[in-house]
Amino acid sequence: MSLTASALGSGVLARGGYACRNGQGSAALSLRPSAASRLAALKSTVARVALGGGSAEQFSITLGARPTVPSSWTNGGMECSFLGPNEPYLVAPNFTVTPPAIIDVRPWVAWYTPANGWRWLGTTGVNSSSWYRWSATPTGVASWVTPTGALNPWTWAPIHVRPGQQTYAIAAFEVIYWYAHPRYVWAYAPSYLSATAAGTYCTFP
């Protein structure tokens, strides 16, 4: 595997191997001192990891200090059984930013089964999701406001879950605020187990 991050330097910044078992694996990569110094000054930055050779799978990650607790958006999220017992419905959080800015957002659903470990599902398939560009303001996403003033947020449905696999699922969003104060963030979106009770993830037996 290889790691690149344009904010820290050109070309491949680190290489390493990894072993994958049941859809999970771990790897340790070391940055050159110059790149590590730039990262310390930036606090965090977006990087890209490529797995394999040739037509490698590529993923965006955030480099920086490990958070003590996973963050979560305060609104939006995944309705576990909105359309049926195995059809969750995902609603994007109403992102706010001051001053107003154009943001790029990429949604994901991470799901886990005992047989296969963790997998990532995006709007364009497994390990693949599209970026969506919206206009965020201090009061929410202006792009979602209808002519009558009602809010019509972005949604993703139906998402079909195969029954009988003991599946756990949680939603996450990546957001790039390139246009106001450049930074990249990602966070979980809460899951709604019922109309009033929120949880961390959805469970599908």
- DSSP H/E element including 149: none
How many angstroms separate the CA atoms of 160 and 63, rounded?
A: 32
Averaged pLDDT for residues 105-125: 93
Let me know if 85 is exposed, middle or buried by CB neighbors in 10 A (0-12, 13-18, 19+).
exposed
Threshold 0.75, pTM exceeds: no
Report yes or no: 189 and 199 within 8 Å, Cβ to Cβ: no
What letter would DSSP give residue 38? H
Domain boundaries, the chain: 2-64, 77-204
| pLDDT classification of 22: cutoffs 50, 70, 90 | low
φ and ψ of 143, to 5 deg: -60, -20
Name beta bridge partners: 111: 119, 169
pLDDT of residue 99: 83
- 23 versus 107: the higher-pLDDT residue is 107
pLDDT bucket at 98, cuts 50 / 70 / 90: confident
Q: How confident is the model at residue 166 (pLDDT cuts 50, 70, 90)?
A: very high
Residue 63 pLDDT = 80
Between 51 and 128, the higher pLDDT residue: 128
Taking residues 29-45, report their average pLDDT. Answer: 85
Average the pLDDT over 100-115 and give the result.
92
Segment 46-84, tens digit of pLDDT: 788 888 765 667 777 778 766 555 578 878 899 998 888
Single-letter residue type at 61: I
Do 164 and 129 touch, CB atoms closer than 8 A?
no
Q: Is the pLDDT of residue 135 over 70?
A: yes
Q: Report the amino acid identity of residue 52.
A: G
| pLDDT score for 28 | 82
Question: Is the CA virtual torsion 22, 24, 27, 31 positive or negative?
Answer: positive
Q: Coil, strand or helix: which one is 48?
A: strand
Task: Please give the mean pLDDT across all residues of the chain.
Answer: 85
State the chain's maximal CA–CA distance in angstroms: 55
